[in-house]
Amino acid sequence: MNLDQLTDIAEKMVAPGKGILAADESSGTIKKRFDAIKVESTEETRRDYREMLFRTESAMKENISGVILYDETIRQKAADGTPLVRLIEAAGSIPGIKVDAGAKPLPACPGETVTEGLDGLRERLKDYHELGARFAKWRAVIDIADGIPTWTCVKTNAHALARYAALCQEANIVPIVEPEVLMDGDHDIQRCADVTEWVLKTVYEELYEQRVVLEGTILKPNMIVPGKKSAKQVSVEEVAERTIMVLERCVPVAVPGIAFLSGGQSDEQATAHLDAMNRIGGFPWNMTFSYGRALQAAPQKAWSGKKENIPAAQKAFAHRARMNGLASLGEWSKDLESA
């Protein structure tokens, strides 16, 4: 493990004004998104779409610090034969890779899951490093409902996250640690705060026990929001205040940065919440974004699989990247959305 290298990469991933593009959708997930815009999901169309994003020079150079890739994508070449990894590097961004095998039912815990993928991970990480990946992502999924999450679910997922992170650092790859408390359901914001605090404290205990060096990690958490079906929704300011409060209770100052997931929020909601947190300030970490759908929904719709739509789609992607870059500095405003 080269700690200097890991900390340098982690700091670049959360550089001021920049954030991470999550382009690691599985083949099944991207098929659903392509179905919505009436585009057939093939290896070529997936390649063309992602190449279009990576060639959006203004966004990639100014606002995207890193890109999380899927196994297929990290091995693909652009239409002109250039490896997609090289396009990302040429734009000054860092290539990363999703390495988990997805959430599977947790035995004896109905309605809960555990993320799998530890078997053979050491060898896969070596391969990914050779392909150009310098950071990785592993997502644990924690649901809120009657009687859940259970301690079994929280503990099992936190332990897997820590083992993954230790293996990443052994391979000189920065681990993004992603324990996502889902915003599905009808729970209120206090329930989200309580569960998230429990999950984060457990995750950092496990990271300590696995001897993970926190300076070479990035945290990718959910924001503290009420469930989508909750009768009581809250203001942008309350989300920001409660999220910061939970993070200050749980996340060590050694962690260089926090890159939030959007977790089902609308494009503008995710931007507004990030901006509100950075306007409050006073915390020890750089707070930025690691968004998938919240960066890609607009360009996907504009593209719709047609070459003649590429300029419009790239403009939409550049706009969303810029809005979130400003939010990571606390400089976004609603007026800029239509500017």
What are the DSSP calls for 293-339, one per residue?
Answer: HHHHHHHHHHHTT-GGGHHHHHHHHHHHHHHHHHHTTT---GGGGG-
CB 212, CB 233: distance < 8 Å: no
Task: Compute the distance between CA of residue 313 and CA of residue 51 in angstroms, rounded to an integer.
Answer: 12
Active-site option among 18, 98, 137, 220: 220
Active site residue 178: yes
Domains and CATH numbers, the chain: 3-338 (3.20.20.70)
Active-site option among 178, 201, 228, 301: 178
Q: What averages of pLDDT result for each successive group of 10 residues across the chain (339 residues)?
A: 95 98 93 94 96 96 98 96 97 97 96 98 98 98 97 98 98 98 95 98 98 98 96 96 98 98 92 98 97 95 96 97 98 89
Q: What pLDDT score does 279 carry?
A: 98
pTM of the full structure: 0.96
Q: What pLDDT score does 21 carry?
A: 98
Q: What pLDDT score does 1 carry?
A: 87
Q: What pLDDT score does 263 carry?
A: 87
Q: What pLDDT score does 39 carry?
A: 93
Task: Compute the distance between CA of residue 114 and CA of residue 179 in angstroms, rounded to an integer.
Answer: 11
Q: Is 111 exposed, middle or buried (0-12, 13-18, 19+ CB in 10 A)?
A: middle
Question: To which H or E segment does residue 142 belong?
Answer: strand 135-142
Active site residue 220: yes
Q: What pLDDT score does 339 carry?
A: 67
- Give SS3 for 39: coil
Angle between helix 236-250 and 267-280 (nearest 10): 60
Give the pairing type, strands 257-260 and 19-23: unpaired
CB 94, CB 44: distance < 8 Å: no
Calculate the alpha carbon distances from 232 to 193, 228, 265 in Å: 15, 10, 16
